[in-house]
Amino acid sequence: MTGRRATVAAPDRRHPRSWEDPLFRGLAAAAAGFFLLLTGAILLELTRGSSLSLAKFGPSFLWSSAWNPVTGDFGALSSIAGTLISTAIAMALAVPLSLVIALFLVELAPPAVSKPVGAAIELLAAVPSIIYGMWGLFVFAPLMSDHVQPFLSDHLGFLPLFQGPPMGIGMLTAGIILALMILPFITSVMRDVLRMVPPVVKEAGYGMGSTVWEVARQVTVRYGARGMAGACLLGLGRAVGETMAVTFVIGNNHRVSASLFDAGNTIASALANEFAEAADPLYLSALVELGLVLFLITFAIQGLTHAWIRRLERSAGRGL
């Protein structure tokens, strides 16, 4: 392989206009290098922008629940907690449903159904998050306050999770809207993973007399388990930083509350709601530091996803 490449490259070097290819290569390398520069610059600028807040609050910024623009006291606890809670709700709802829909499309539905529906789900994954935000605020939130929240507090009201006035907007609503938003995305990746399970493996199951459900559960899902975990990580990365779908319905309140009915905020929603209005340098700096925290969270998820998919590729040859 390398030998052939060497013979190919040889006439290249003898080409009369020898500046062309170095220039081409240089341009391409410069464009590629720009990505390194950009990633470094983002980390640098976010750190530099939060220097005021870093200097004033130090590491206690991470676990302080204060958020008072008037007295200039800021902490990230409510935003970090809100980000994690809304993402957890979204993943808990979206992952099982995605798995079921993907299984339905790959194993159960006839091609006449699974092809158009699969294509439709891929299209739905492209719907901008602001659409989900609009629907969440004007259609889903009233539904929550009129029906879902009263129902939950009637039947599960002994849990602190479901106490408080049914306002419609709040952490639970944000989590559900987030789940709906990442649902088509996770589903279409899972469907791709499940479709790559070789038919021979499944046929072996049917040959043993297994039912469709048994093959789906014990063969298809097991074979694609790691790929599907990758799909979940990709969805997680999306959910954590999602802004608009959450901002519309979470209520933007810097308070940590045990009840999922209460208004809260996430890092992204705090930025979207407050950044344009913040004038005080310390306030701005605290918001940028929130951004830095979000960057580090997504960076960690990215690293995990990357490592996971790399391991997957090495063990499965080709796969996801």
Segment 52 to 91, residues that bind other proteins, using CB under 8 A = none
Nearest approach, Cβ of 155 to other proteins (angstroms)?
20
Nearest approach, Cβ of 199 to other proteins (angstroms)?
19
Structure tokens at 90: 């979204």
Round to whole Å and give the CA distance between 97 and 187: 8
Round to whole Å and give the CA distance between 289 and 281: 12
Instruction: Tell whether residue 112 is a contact of other proteins (CB under 8 A).
Output: no
Among 58, 62, 115, 138, binds other proteins (CB under 8 A): 138
Round to whole Å and give the CA distance between 104 and 114: 8
Q: What amino acid is encoded at 52 in this protein?
A: L
Q: What amino acid is encoded at 171 in this protein?
A: M
Among 52, 121, 144, 152, binds other proteins (CB under 8 A): 121
Rg (C-alpha) for the chain, rounded Å, is 25
Return the range that interacts with other proteins (CB under 8 A); candidates 145-153, 197-205, 255-263, 291-299.
291-299
Q: What amino acid is encoded at 207 in this protein?
A: G
Q: Which is nearer to other proteins, 38 or 225 (CB)?
A: 38
Instruction: Tell whether residue 208 is a contact of other proteins (CB under 8 A).
Output: no
Among 46, 77, 90, 91, binds other proteins (CB under 8 A): 46
Among 3, 6, 17, 110, binds other proteins (CB under 8 A): 17
> CA–CA distance from 81 to each of 11, 19, 62, 182 (Å)?
61, 56, 10, 20
Return the range that interacts with other proteins (CB under 8 A); candidates 54-62, 152-160, 220-228, 296-304.
296-304
Give me the DSSP letters along 17-46.
STTHHHHHHHHHHHHHHHHHHHHHHHHHHH
Answer for the pair 98, 183: CB distance below 8 angstroms, yes or no.
Answer: yes
160-173 burial code (b ≥16 CB/10 A, e <16):
ebbbbebebbbbbb
Which own/partner pairs from 144-147 qualify as long-range (CB within 8 Å, at least 24 positions apart)?
144/168, 144/169, 144/172, 144/173, 144/176
Instruction: Tell whether residue 161 is a contact of other proteins (CB under 8 A).
Output: no
Q: Name which of residues 242 to 281 contact other proteins (CB under 8 A).
A: 242-244, 247-248, 268, 271-272, 275-276
Instruction: Tell whether residue 171 is a contact of other proteins (CB under 8 A).
Output: no
Q: Which is nearer to other proteins, 57 or 248 (CB)?
A: 248
Q: Which is nearer to other proteins, 15 or 155 (CB)?
A: 15
Q: Which residue has the tokens 């605020």?
A: 137
Nearest approach, Cβ of 271 to other proteins (angstroms)?
5
Nearest approach, Cβ of 44 to other proteins (angstroms)?
10
Return the range that interacts with other proteins (CB under 8 A); candidates 8-16, 57-65, 149-157, 224-232.
8-16
Q: Which is nearer to other proteins, 75 or 237 (CB)?
A: 237
Listed residue (72, 51, 55, 74) closest to 64, CA to CA: 74
Q: Which residue has the tokens 């008037």?
A: 70
Nearest approach, Cβ of 191 to other proteins (angstroms)?
11
Q: Which is nearer to other proteins, 71 or 111 (CB)?
A: 111
Among 92, 119, 159, 201, binds other proteins (CB under 8 A): 119
Instruction: Tell whether residue 186 is a contact of other proteins (CB under 8 A).
Output: no
